[in-house]
Structures are given as C-alpha cells and as structure tokens.
Structure 1
C-alpha cells in the first residue's frame, strides 16, 4: 500500500486537517507531553523540494504566484 503525504502540510496546517484549531492544539499537547523535542536548525528535504517546485511553478509564463501577484 502506497502512503500518501500532504505536500506543505506543516505544523500550522493542523486546523485545516482537524477542522478546529483548539482540537489541533490539544492533540499536539498530548503528543508532546513528556517528550524531548530536538530542533536541528535545518530545513527538511521535503520542505526544500516543495518550496523549489512552488517557486519554479510561479516563474512559468502565465502562472500567478501564490498570493495573487505576477
């Protein structure tokens, strides 16, 4: 079975996934309770490739950039 991933769905997209910002905060709180979070200070490969593909798409003639500009 192939796993689906949502491109660009980061921490801030939880309310779109779960439909309620308070529910998303409660889930994140439960998951991270008594955890040690390690921040590496680097961007992930998936984040970098998503940003590059969005930039490449926005530079094509006739396409609008995210946010409505050209």
Structure 2
C-alpha cells in the first residue's frame, strides 16, 4: 500500500524539524558546558585541581549536605 503525498510530505517535514532541533540543542548544550567549565575553572577549583575534579567535589558536597538544587 503506498503512502499518500501528504503523509510523505509530513514525514519529510518532521525529519527536517527534528534534525534542526537536535542541531540547535547540541549547540546550546555545548555552549553551556563551555561557560560552566570556565566558571568552575575560574571560581571553584582549588590548588592543582582539574575542572572535572572540582565538579565531582561539588557534587559530593551537595550529596552529603542534601542540597541537590
């Protein structure tokens, strides 16, 4: 059974919209991560601590204090 032209057109539109959304989402998340890393590096790292270590330390402190906001 063949699909109607409207169904095919809707599928193409859906693919395009979802693909565009995913690209935008990836760009936004990537940009946020860069900003977050710069902030952690500048204000929250301790002597000789990497950004990843600082993030883990902060997560651990939040878990221990119950402050998971």
Q: Same fold (TM over 0.5)?
A: no
- Which category describes the TM-score, using the shorter chain as reference length? under 0.3
* TM-score where L is the length of structure 1: 0.27
- Structure holding more helix per residue: 2
Pick the structure with greater CA Rg: 2
